[in-house]
Chain A
Amino acid sequence: MKLPRFSRKTLCIPYAVFLLFFVVLPMLVIFFYAFTDETMHPSFGTFIKFFSDPTKLSTIVYSLVIALITTVVCLVIAYPVAYILARSKMKKKFVILMLFVLPMWINFVLRVNAIRELFNLLASLHGMEWLASANYFKTVFGMVYDFLPFMILPLYTTMLKIDDSLYEASADLGAGAATTFLRVTVPLSMPGIMSGVTMVFLPSMTNYVVSDMLGNAKVTIIGKFISDYFGNDWHMGSMIALVLLVVVFLSTWLSGGFKSEENVRGTVL
């Protein structure tokens, strides 16, 4: 009996099946629900309802702003850390890196809960009462805390790859520290910045565990809306998910667009 021919291609079948059933099909289902009504007939009703509802549009704006602030704060904290770690001649610098990454090994909900308790404790102190109602501040704080490792790691690995001779060359050609930083370090670390930004920006638009626990559920981001609507109106839930998908796609594409531009400049240098 002749066995059916197995080749390397055959091994791809499980992945193709996986992609089909867990990526493509669910997308199609979301698309289907977004553009049908309760009777499952094609309809633009949900689409119109979404874009004529100022609350939903505002929530997208709020989520974008929260995600933007989170990303910027993460970048401002992570960049120097990654730079120092990558450039230092410390022998055990991986220990420090580990310390930054370590919280990721502890359950996410547990960490958020711990921060919640810390904030409650602080808010009970005299002169700190404002903290009890600073829900947006607490949400952004929680997100920065949670997503910081995702910013540090790609930055660190990119900066590690920058050849020391480039800095020397820059100094030889008469550039000062600031010029070297602006015209060598920043452009060359651009890929790291981009992947860090993507990894922080996207989840912080939808991670409503943080906004529920630290924002006391008084801060609503778009992810929470999706979850709420899937309780009773799948069509609106799917529509919001779809809009978010478009927003995410746009922002990835935008950052991709800027990236190639920077890369061009990088190679020109």
Chain B
Amino acid sequence: MKHRILSIGLAALILLPTVSMLGGCGARNEIVLRVYNWEEYIDEGGKGTFIYDELHELDEEGDPVLENGKHVHIESDIVNDGYKAWYEETTGQALSEEGPHILDDFCLWYERTHGQKIRVEYSTFGTNEDMYNEIKLGNEYDLLCPSDYMIMKLAAEGRLEKYDEDFFDASLPENYYVRNVSPFIAEKFENNAGLEIREDEAGDPILWKDYAAGYMWGTTGFVYNPEAKDAQGNPIDVEGLLEELDWKIFTDSTFRNKITAKDNVRDTYFAGLGLRYQSELLELRERFAAGELTQEEYTREITRIFNATDDETITEVEPVLRDIKKNIHSFETDTGKSDMVKGTICLNYAWSGDAVYALDLAESGKNEDGEAENTVYLNYYVPKAGSNLWFDGWVMPKGANKEAAQAFVNFLSMPQNAMRNSYYIGYTSVIAGEEMEMLGYADYLYGEEEGTEDTVDYDLSYFFGGEASILADIEQATCRQLYAQFPSPDVISHCAVMDYYDKEASERINELWSRIKAETLDAWAIAVIVVAVVAIALSAVFVKFGDRIDLFRAKPKKGYRRIGQDPE
């Protein structure tokens, strides 16, 4: 009996999680929004957020004090006291200086404006491919945040819902996205940033703008240490060499074991193309500068070069990638930033947002007394032969709750929220703001007061769609955070977007990547090894079963018999 009770108890214990799972299926009247986003790609509250860091410390006049001790005074509404008033109006709650989670704020806002309780189920992914696999496996979400090429792939495979036409009606007050998005981004989304426009099954063109709303964007380039020294302690003119070599710096022996590439095929293949076709790219650049090519023609040409995946191109790029591998310190995804700050390497091929992070980290190098003693100033450089311009955007997979998803995108597109997210993750929001509110934010971070020495007017009209510029430090404008976060019009005009690889191209490129990453032995070596392995396997079989097989059995001498053998 005892035994039986124990068994029942144990069985019940094992079943317990299943029962509690069934019970947890939500209260009624509450909708659930399932958001699938990159790791660390939204304001998650607490330290490191705009609210915690910047609204904490105000001087006597109510202006924020920046981390570097600089007091700034800006008219812009969204940055200082105006933010608190806005926050309270939007969420109906007092602003906690500890830094609320933006998803909680969304729920508050949604309930106030839509009269409906909502809960956000938030999960994260590490790469576009991981996300794609999840979708392919049939996991259901309402909102995803893939990069440009993945948006194209998902749309081309018919996995996405279109945004409602209402979503793009700028006359409706609740359409924050369309009202606040930068005209530069909107234009890129309208013509797929110069990529070849594909058609869906019905023969209609697949346009980004139908399927995606922008979130963050940026460039890729090199983070470099301008004070780098070689093994003998002599300074290296990194800046000069970058100007001179551009992409070819990847294979320059001065930087042997001092430079890194990305550990993913798309970014490194892109770099390989830049290196291999540098002279063609530079020639195009000159023709564009001379006015022989329009911006549109120029963009189309470089986009074509940077998206070539035919066999001939791959054959051309392969030796280049080999040379890159030989010269670099490592293929990395994450370690580049810290290696840069520590000085292990002096050149790091990076995404602009990571570049800003690395630059900030290096500059904040403080000793134990909080004095900036180990401060290193790193710079950012975008290859002038052309580089990558990328976007991450919100898309709705088939079957999504479109209303809630679009409300979420609109909420994130309020300039105040765009600023919060941008501050937290260090990337650049696609939001400019109806009244150019984000210019106020850029000015707040990088602006200098009138009359400061060594400053320039940094023109950002292209992004804000009207007369817009910041009075910025000359270094900020040419090689620091401002230049990384808000690329100059010159940089933008020389950048190309990456397309997705179709099935055959994808296979070719992946094979190329395995050949680059791994070592390939000669055919004869493989043959020898295969023969050796087969020989070992056979001898193992012999050792194990040899005496059971008559063929191998030596006949015992006369008068002897094997142990265990029946006497005849």
Q: Which A residues are closer than 8 A to B by beta carbons? A: 3, 6-7, 10-11, 14, 38, 53-59, 61-62, 116, 120, 124, 126, 129, 132-133, 212-213, 216-218, 220, 224-225, 228-234, 250, 253-254, 257-258, 260-261
| Cβ-defined partner of A233 (8 Å) among B14, B263, B507, B519 | B507
Question: B510 contacts A232, CB within 8 Å?
Answer: yes
| Cβ-defined partner of A57 (8 Å) among B127, B130, B526 | B526
| Cβ-defined partner of B526 (8 Å) among A58, A120, A258 | A58
Question: B3 contacts A56, CB within 8 Å?
Answer: no
Q: Which B residues are closer than 8 A to A by beta carbons? A: 3-4, 7-8, 10-11, 14, 127, 129-130, 133, 231, 256-257, 263, 325, 328-332, 335, 339, 342, 344, 503, 506-507, 510-511, 513-515, 517-521, 523, 525-526, 529-530, 536-537, 540, 543-544
Please report the C-alpha to C-alpha distance between residue A116 and residue B127 in the assembled complex, in whole angstroms.
Answer: 24
Question: A10 contacts B11, CB within 8 Å?
Answer: yes
Q: Which residues does chain A contribute within 8 Å of B133, judged by CB atoms? A: 230-231, 234
**7 smallest beta-carbon distances between A and B, as pairs:** A216-B330, A6-B7, A217-B331, A231-B129, A220-B518, A58-B521, A132-B257
Please report the C-alpha to C-alpha distance between residue A133 and residue B513 in the assembled complex, in whole angstroms.
Answer: 20
Residue from B133, B507, B514, B529 having most chain A Cβ neighbours under 10 A: B514
Q: Which residues does chain B contribute within 8 Å of A120, judged by CB atoms? A: 339, 342, 344
Q: Which residues does chain B contribute within 8 Å of A230, judged by CB atoms? A: 133
A11-B10, A233-B507 known; A261+B543 contact, CB < 8 A: yes
Question: A257 contacts B540, CB within 8 Å?
Answer: yes
| Cβ-defined partner of B127 (8 Å) among A10, A38, A220, A231 | A231
Closest to A256 in B: B544
Q: Which residues does chain B contribute within 8 Å of A216, judged by CB atoms? A: 329-332
Q: Which residues does chain B contribute within 8 Å of A213, judged by CB atoms? A: 335
Closest to B325 in A: A218
A6-B3, A132-B329, A261-B543 known; A62+B518 contact, CB < 8 A: yes
Question: B514 contacts A218, CB within 8 Å?
Answer: no
Please report the C-alpha to C-alpha distance between residue A261 and residue B257 in the assembled complex, in whole angstroms.
Answer: 49
Q: Which residues does chain A contribute within 8 Å of B518, judged by CB atoms? A: 55-56, 58-59, 62, 220, 225
In the assembled complex, the CB of B38 is this many whole angstroms from the nearest CB of chain A, namely: 15
Please report the C-alpha to C-alpha distance between residue A53 and residue B520 in the assembled complex, in whole angstroms.
Answer: 9
Q: Which residues does chain A contribute within 8 Å of B8, judged by CB atoms? A: 3, 6
Q: Which residues does chain B contribute within 8 Å of A225, judged by CB atoms? A: 514, 518
- The contact sample of 10 A-B pairs, CB cut-off 8 A, is A3-B8, A129-B257, A133-B256, A217-B332, A218-B331, A229-B510, A231-B127, A233-B510, A254-B537, A261-B543
Main secondary structure of the interface of A (DSSP, over half): helix
Residue from B14, B342, B518 having most chain A Cβ neighbours under 10 A: B518
Q: Which residues does chain A contribute within 8 Å of B127, judged by CB atoms? A: 231
Closest to B342 in A: A120
Closest to B261 in A: A217
Question: A54 contacts B521, CB within 8 Å?
Answer: yes
Closest to B332 in A: A217
Question: A55 contacts B257, CB within 8 Å?
Answer: no
Please report the C-alpha to C-alpha distance between residue A14 and residue B7 in the assembled complex, in whole angstroms.
Answer: 12
Please report the C-alpha to C-alpha distance between residue A129 and residue B329 in the assembled complex, in whole angstroms.
Answer: 12
Q: Which residues does chain B contribute within 8 Å of A212, judged by CB atoms? A: 263
Q: Which residues does chain A contribute within 8 Å of B520, judged by CB atoms? A: 54-55, 58
Closest to B529 in A: A61
Please report the C-alpha to C-alpha distance between residue A65 and residue B60 in the assembled complex, in whole angstroms.
Answer: 68
Q: Which residues does chain B contribute within 8 Å of A38, judged by CB atoms? A: 503
Q: Which residues does chain A contribute within 8 Å of B330, judged by CB atoms? A: 216-218
Q: Which residues does chain A contribute within 8 Å of B529, judged by CB atoms? A: 61
Question: B540 contacts A133, CB within 8 Å?
Answer: no
Please report the C-alpha to C-alpha distance between residue A254 and residue B130 in the assembled complex, in whole angstroms.
Answer: 37
Q: Which residues does chain B contribute within 8 Å of A57, judged by CB atoms? A: 521, 526, 530
Please report the C-alpha to C-alpha distance between residue A62 and residue B519 in the assembled complex, in whole angstroms.
Answer: 8
Question: B257 contacts A6, CB within 8 Å?
Answer: no
Closest to B537 in A: A250
Q: Which residues does chain A contribute within 8 Å of B507, judged by CB atoms? A: 233
Question: B514 contacts A55, CB within 8 Å?
Answer: yes
Please report the C-alpha to C-alpha distance between residue A261 and residue B503 in the assembled complex, in whole angstroms.
Answer: 51
Please report the C-alpha to C-alpha distance between residue A260 and residue B525 in the assembled complex, in whole angstroms.
Answer: 32
Please report the C-alpha to C-alpha distance between residue A258 and residue B133 in the assembled complex, in whole angstroms.
Answer: 43
In the assembled complex, the CB of A10 is this many whole angstroms from the nearest CB of chain B, namely: 6
Please report the C-alpha to C-alpha distance between residue A38 and residue B136 in the assembled complex, in whole angstroms.
Answer: 12
Question: A129 contacts B7, CB within 8 Å?
Answer: no
Please report the C-alpha to C-alpha distance between residue A232 and residue B504 in the assembled complex, in whole angstroms.
Answer: 12
Question: B540 contacts A54, CB within 8 Å?
Answer: no
Q: Which residues does chain B contribute within 8 Å of A218, judged by CB atoms? A: 325, 328, 330-331, 517
